[in-house]
Amino acid sequence: MDADGSPALLSDPHRRRAGHLYGLIISGAVLATAPDDFRLARIKPRVRSVLSTDGVIDRIGVDHVHGNVHRAVEAQLASKEASRT
């Protein structure tokens, strides 16, 4: 997603937010250090739609997107526990 010079993107707060998350993910700042530990929680439906359309959800994995922080933490703890056994 190229946000440069796009009036439609700049006027839509959901697309701006999605663009910001997309930039963080694609830049590799988080994924390069701990790709299996990265999870998203509490994403607004329109933001999730944009991230899905742009392939970000596929990149991080649908199983790493959660409705709330509690579910994200529980999933991460279960993942860590499973990797120990």
* CB atoms closer than 10 angstroms to residue 19: 21
| 48: in domain | yes
Q: Which domain holds residue 17?
A: 7-84
Q: Which two tokens stand for residue 30?
A: 């988080």
Q: Which helix (H) or strand (E) holds 60?
A: helix 56-60
| 53: in domain | yes
Confidence (pTM)? 0.63
pLDDT (tens digit, 9 = 90+) per residue, 4-47?
Answer: 444 555 567 777 778 777 777 766 666 666 667 788 888 888 88
| 75: in domain | yes
For the chain, the domain total comes to 1
| 1: in domain | no
pLDDT of residue 54: 80
| 2: in domain | no
CB 34 within 8 A of CB 60: no
Determine the Cα–Cα distance for residues 19 and 78; give it in Å rounded to an integer. 30
pLDDT of residue 38: 83
